[in-house]
Amino acid sequence: MRYLNFNDLQAKLGNRSRSSIYRDLELGRIPRPIKLGSRLYWPEADIDAAIAALPK
C-alpha cells in the first residue's frame, strides 16, 4: 500500500489549494489522513476510491 503525503495528495487532486483540501476533508469528500509521527498521510487506494465515488 502506498501512502501520499500532502504534496502528493495536492498533485493527485489537480493541485488544489491547501484550504480547498481541508474543506473537502471537513465535508467528507476525501477520507481522513493517518498520522505517522508528526506527519499526515493518506492511503492512495482510499483517495482513488473517493475520487471514483465523486459525481461526474
Mention every residue, 6+ apart, whose C-beta is less than 8 A from residue 6: 18, 21, 40
Instruction: Report the alpha-carbon distance of residue 1 to residue 18 in Å, rounded.
Output: 24
The per-residue pLDDT for range 1-56, each reduced to its tens digit, is 899 999 999 999 999 999 999 999 999 999 999 999 999 999 999 999 999 998 87
User: What cell was used for 41?
Assistant: 498521510
Mention every residue, 6+ apart, whose C-beta is less than 8 A from residue 31: 42, 43, 46, 47, 50
* The predicted structure's pLDDT at residue 54: 85
How far the first Cα of the chain sits from its last, in Å, is 27
* The predicted structure's pLDDT at residue 29: 93
pTM for the model stands at: 0.86
* The predicted structure's pLDDT at residue 25: 95
